[in-house]
Structure 1
Amino acid sequence: MEQRREFILKLAKALLSYGAPSHRIESQLAMVSTILEARVSFVHIPSIIMVSLGDGGTKTTQTHFVRANSRIALSNLEQVHAITREVCRDKIACDTGTELLDNVLSAKALYPLYMRCFYCFICGSIICATAFGGSVIDMWISGACAAFLGYLSLSPTTQQSSMIDNVYEISVSIFVSFVARALSTIKGDLFCYSAISSAGVVHILPGFTILVSALELTSRNIICGSVRMVYAVIYTLFLGFSLTIGSDLYLLVNPRARQEYLHPTPPKLSYFHGGLTPMNGTSVGMPVTGTFGFANLTTDAMHHIYKGCFRDPEWPWWRHPFPWWTLFFLVPLYSTCSSLSNLQNWRSRELYIMVLFSCASYAANTASNLYLPDRGDIVSAVGALVIGSLGNAYSRIWGGTAFTSMVTGVMFLVPSGIAQAGGLSQTYQSSAAQYTSGFGLAIRMVEVAIGVTIGLFVSQIFVYTWGKKKDTAHFAF
């Protein structure tokens, strides 16, 4: 019995450490304790699992607090799920399973810091082009900002200092917005503020947190769901206001840029000197002579705005968004780098499954957006329905891990849904519009998360309505 309890405690530590779906942790642990015939009860709150171990002989109860900082590690989650399955099916003993879990928990990170920063650079560059309408030169800047942000989030110095760890995300958001606004004010409109600032901070967007909170609320886990939801919404407001502060800070230190920003360039005029004689077909009016200026208002800059970026048709190709056919290799590349940045082993078969499911979800998301524009919730639900059906079918038919195969595609739905709903940062002309947009960003995040939640739960109904019941806990969204 003591070996079984030790295995359950190690399993709780592993699930909490590697980003297991929080609304499934209690059911996963309860199912394992039932199979192992251990009298254990669980209470899960954010970052903590309270484990109560009952002893029928002495009528006593021991309570253990399992605490860990959650960070997604896909390969480690697959190993933990495989070990749990082997123990529950009596293929290995509990003490052997505990040793294997110890080895997983004590293992070093799969990739070094510089490789993970490189993956962040690729992801930031591609999401700038695919979701926010960035050009080739915008990709480099947004990728560098994403790599810098990834370095700060993964650096041991940041993790060891509580003061830096609490403020670096907001500080970097201000810096990214400051740099993006400075580059966007260069004459010639070489850089797009909206694309660079949005893609540069998309790595810290709490979309996954809002999704998990929506899943917890749907699963009636009220405490964890409400706490995470409030945190994610307030954090999103901080992020939106930080982008506004960075932009306004540069306009404050550069008065000329502020003047050009608030007063748009007047239309170009073609001047002619001569006379005009008005005629209506029956009589001739008084002639008018002098210098006349003509402007083509149909070619105003607003007619060439694409996802918040001005794109003149006469510009060369490297200043325009990528054509649609480039998505056939940009989306798989992004999905691959996103999986690797979440510590998926590049030699495993699961990596190809993740990329395939992510591409299918993005294709469904993009196709539905053509027929339902400006409906981020419904569009995200369609993409989630596709990837949820594929992931659950993969787990049910081929015995794979549903959660890890779906993470990459689900995390891709969040920035795509935000971009289709208007993006993270835009151009404002008043402080009221800035605050309205800050709250609007949080609302868009919640809408996308609710759509993804509905799609994931409906997909489970499609897959698990028929067939035999699972002999282990459901390890999926």
Structure 2
Amino acid sequence: MDKAELGSYHLNSVAQRMQITADIADILERQDFIIKLGKSLVRTGAPTHRIEAAMETTSKRLEIDGSYFVLPGLIMVSFGDVETHTSETHLIKCSKSLDISKLAKVNDIAHKVAKGKIDVSEASTELDDIKNSPPTWNVWWTLVGYTISSAFIAPLFFGGSWTDCWVSALFGLGVGLATFVSERIPMFGNVFEMVVTIVVSLITLAINNHVCYSAVALSAVVVALPGYALTSAVLELAAKNLCSGAVHLIYGIMYVMFLAFGMGYGSTIWSLTHPGVAVISMQACSKPVDPYWYFLMLPLTCFGICICFGANMRQYPIFTFNAGVGFVVYYFMNKLVGANSIITPSVGAFALGLTGNIYGKVTKQLAFVPLMGGIIILVPGSLGVRGAVSLFEDGSNNSASGMFASQIIGIALSITLGLFLANMCVYPLGRKRSVFLGF
């Protein structure tokens, strides 16, 4: 081989090595994007089964052979190489939170990648920008959200008076401040739910002659009620995602137990320190607000909840509209069959699921936002926290209150049934555009 042929051979060899290196770098970039997409969906609050579906859809579009499994706090990713018969497994720890505005942005990026509208490098940069951006609402606005939502939930769902309204606002502000403290002090975060509800219960009982205990105490912790977590758990179980669904379901039930334990504990302390004084806790309020005020209170409540869960102002109108649909149906069904009937949340969920999915189908926007608004509004009035509180009170009828866990699961199943029936009505042949059009 002469010098010219030898030089040509070396150039071809170098070119081949550079091409192989470029191909490997491209594959690694696509794999990294899929992992980054899964982490972004977890951080913004997408349901587990939707996260797996989104990662699988994106993986097929990017021609990556992989399998994905999402557990609470953990993402398991396995990439395979058909030619070399090798695989690479990643275990990624990722804590879950909820920011509806950022979730809509992540969903939009996933949709664009699946349709080939943007390349992987640009999409990865946008995900990094979302991750590094501050929360949709800052600390001060979040405190306003806690205050407003607690204030108006008291008359809306628990029959509170105007006095209960402003007292609940003060409690909501206190709970919001305690939430931020618990995020910065891990030791306090371990007992946050019980400590806060004990304090709320004691103070409310101290002023029980002026306020309604059930309205004030329950509305103060309404943002903490795990309505979305419970519904997502049942949806995950229905989607055959047994591990994540079971963990979320047990967590939701135990979280209600934490809140109820704190209220019952505070009530017991009050009984011990004030012997001979009757403790009046989970009774109906005597001076409810005129229902005509609900037309003003519901939009204000939705505004507070939007802030707490990270929805932006562009999402607020449809969030409020769908919440209004769910509330109106819930209100009249409550008058017709009673709040304790499992039919009530099911019919309400069907109505809001119908309007939410129609909105998503017509506008091509994320239907998760209006559905989320309706679910959060439905849960405070239907969740069986009253029975859970009586479970921890001295002298209560434990044979009746001990059924609260089955009531909670029944409510979650009822809401899930309504949502699935609504999906069947709007998408009888299934969804073709995106895995995120609804629950």
**TM-score, structure 1 as length reference:** 0.82
**Deviation by residue 1:386-441 (Cα, 9 ceiling, x = unmatched):** 1111111222221010112211111111102137x9676569985342x4565344
Say whether 1:363 aligns with 2:328: yes
Aligned residues: 413
**Deviation by residue 1:33-65 (Cα, 9 ceiling, x = unmatched):** 112211111011112110111123433211112
CA-CA distance at 1:162 after TM superposition: 2.5
Q: Do the aligned partners of 1:237 and 1:438 also contact (CA within 8 Å) in 2?
A: no
Say whether 1:5 aligns with 2:22: no
Aligned to 2:194: 170
Aligned to 1:234: 254
- Aligned partner of 1:162: which letter? P
Aligned to 1:342: 309
- Aligned partner of 2:289: which letter? F
Say whether 1:383 aligns with 2:409: no
Aligned to 1:470: 432
Distance change (3 Å), C-alpha of 1:469 and 1:326: closer
> CA-atom RMSD, angstroms?
2.3
C-alpha distance in 2, partners of 1:6/1:138?
52
- Aligned partner of 2:292: which letter? W
Q: 1:460 aligns with which of 410, 420, 423?
A: 423
**Deviation by residue 1:173-208 (Cα, 9 ceiling, x = unmatched):** 111111111111xxxx32111211111122222222
**Deviation by residue 1:68-113 (Cα, 9 ceiling, x = unmatched):** 2211101100100111111111111011000000000111112221
Q: 1:179 aligns with which of 203, 215, 218?
A: 203
List aligned pairs for 1:215-230, cutoff 5 A: 215-230=235-250
Say whether 1:324 aligns with 2:324: no
Q: 1:308 aligns with which of 270, 276, 283?
A: 283
Identity %: 27
C-alpha distance in 2, partners of 1:368/1:79?
36
C-alpha distance in 2, partners of 1:428/1:87?
51
Partner of 1:260, secondary structure, is: coil
Say whether 1:431 aligns with 2:398: no
Distance change (3 Å), C-alpha of 1:21 and 1:352: same
Aligned to 2:23: none
C-alpha distance in 2, partners of 1:60/1:100?
31
Aligned to 1:161: 185
Q: Do the aligned partners of 1:176 and 1:201 also contact (CA within 8 Å) in 2?
A: no
List aligned pairs for 1:138-149, cutoff 5 A: 138-149=164-175
C-alpha distance in 2, partners of 1:35/1:164?
45
CA-CA distance at 1:152 after TM superposition: 2.3
Distance change (3 Å), C-alpha of 1:60 and 1:345: same
Q: 1:96 aligns with which of 122, 138, 146?
A: 122
List aligned pairs for 1:442-461, cutoff 5 A: 442-461=405-424
CA-CA distance at 1:245 after TM superposition: 0.8
CA-CA distance at 1:144 after TM superposition: 1.8
Which moved further from structure 2: 422-431 or 441-450? Answer: 422-431
Q: Do the aligned partners of 2:198 and 2:263 also contact (CA within 8 Å) in 1?
A: yes
Distance change (3 Å), C-alpha of 1:355 and 1:432: closer
Q: Do the aligned partners of 1:357 and 1:409 also contact (CA within 8 Å) in 2?
A: yes
Q: Report which of the two has the higher share of helix.
A: 2
Which moved further from structure 2: 444-453 or 99-108? Answer: 444-453
Aligned to 2:99: 73
List aligned pairs for 1:230-309, cutoff 5 A: 230-255=250-275, 259-261=276-278, 308-309=283-284
Say whether 1:62 aligns with 2:88: yes
Q: 2:43 aligns with which of 8, 17, 22?
A: 17
Aligned to 1:286: none
- Aligned partner of 2:365: which letter? G
Q: Do the aligned partners of 2:387 and 2:402 also contact (CA within 8 Å) in 1?
A: no
Partner of 1:401, secondary structure, is: coil
C-alpha distance in 2, partners of 1:353/1:464?
20
Partner of 2:136, secondary structure, is: coil
Partner of 1:43, secondary structure, is: strand
- Aligned partner of 2:80: which letter? G
Q: Do the aligned partners of 1:236 and 1:441 also contact (CA within 8 Å) in 2?
A: no
Q: Do the aligned partners of 1:388 and 1:406 also contact (CA within 8 Å) in 2?
A: yes
Partner of 1:62, secondary structure, is: strand
Q: Do the aligned partners of 2:199 and 2:266 also contact (CA within 8 Å) in 1?
A: yes
C-alpha distance in 1, partners of 2:377/2:301?
9
Partner of 2:91, secondary structure, is: strand
Distance change (3 Å), C-alpha of 1:81 and 1:33: same
Aligned to 2:111: 85
Q: Which has the larger radius of gyration?
A: 1
Distance change (3 Å), C-alpha of 1:119 and 1:163: same
- Aligned partner of 2:231: which letter? L
Q: Do the aligned partners of 2:227 and 2:375 also contact (CA within 8 Å) in 1?
A: no
Partner of 2:207, secondary structure, is: helix
Aligned to 2:318: 353
C-alpha distance in 2, partners of 1:423/1:143?
24
Which moved further from structure 2: 66-75 or 10-19? Answer: 66-75
C-alpha distance in 2, partners of 1:96/1:429?
57
- Aligned partner of 2:378: which letter? L
Say whether 1:195 aligns with 2:215: yes
List aligned pairs for 1:45-60, cutoff 5 A: 45-60=71-86
Q: 2:176 aligns with which of 139, 143, 150?
A: 150
Q: Do the aligned partners of 1:381 and 1:455 also contact (CA within 8 Å) in 2?
A: yes
List aligned pairs for 1:388-399, cutoff 5 A: 388-399=353-364
Q: Do the aligned partners of 2:267 and 2:393 also contact (CA within 8 Å) in 1?
A: no
User: RCO greater where, 1 or 2, for CA within 8 Å and sep 6 or more?
Assistant: 1
**TM-score, structure 2 as length reference:** 0.88
C-alpha distance in 1, partners of 2:170/2:405?
25
- Aligned partner of 2:47: which letter? P
**Deviation by residue 1:8-55 (Cα, 9 ceiling, x = unmatched):** 111001001010022211112111111221111101111211011112
C-alpha distance in 2, partners of 1:211/1:108?
28
Q: Which runs of 5+ in 1 are unaligned?
A: 265-304, 312-319
**Deviation by residue 1:337-361 (Cα, 9 ceiling, x = unmatched):** 2112211122x2x221111111011
- Aligned partner of 1:55: which letter? D
